[in-house]
Amino acid sequence: MRRIVTATVQNRSGVLNRVTGLLAKRQFNIESISVGRTETEGISKMTIVVDVPDTQKLEQLTKQLNKQIDVLKVSDITDKAIVASELALIRVGSNAQLRSEIQGIIEPFRASVIDISRDSLTVQVTGKHEKIEALIDLLRPYGIKELARTGLTAFLRGHQPQVTEMKNYSILK
């Protein structure tokens, strides 16, 4: 199962190494990790997209993360109302004739062209994982010359619907 786990961490030296090292050492299958500062100084947030075989392994992941001294909070937000987004830069082969055709493809995705050269153009797209996958698939026939993705970053929506089944994997809470 693909899960989205966020970890709020204290921005101390070595914390990124500690978290990624732990995920590697315990053989978690990581799809992406993104890290950045938050609204609070000294606090960063990591968004980890992970593929785990079962809930037991997922529980281990959250507990092992929680155990780290510099980790303040760990949440599995997969089943909650969230806003989640990643960014991709895609350079595709193109020439003058193809440009408007590609424009037509990317427009519904609200992607934009951010660089053009004689034989290629670079598209920037943000949004859900699936959306980005879909756009990449559509652009593939034109020849993808370069692709870079940030990995997912996410947090809870301001309003959580009452009905949402909240799964809590920590036995502490």
Provide, rounded to whole angstroms, the least separation between the CB of residue 4 and another protein.
20
Q: Which is nearer to another protein, 43 or 98 (CB)?
A: 43
In whole angstroms, give the CA distance from residue 50 to residue 52: 6
Provide, rounded to whole angstroms, the least separation between the CB of residue 21 and another protein.
5
Would you tell me which residues interact with another protein (CB under 8 A)?
A: 9-10, 13-14, 17-18, 21-22, 25, 56, 59-60, 63-64, 66-72, 170-172
Q: Which is nearer to another protein, 8 or 32 (CB)?
A: 8
Residue 53, class by beta-carbon neighbours within 10 Å (0-12 exposed, 13-18 middle, 19+ buried)? exposed
94, 145 Cβ separation under 8 angstroms: no
Q: Which is nearer to another protein, 58 or 102 (CB)?
A: 58
Provide, rounded to whole angstroms, the least separation between the CB of residue 56 and another protein.
6
| Closest residue by Cα to residue 46 from 27, 25, 62, 29 | 62
Beta bridge partners of 112: 124
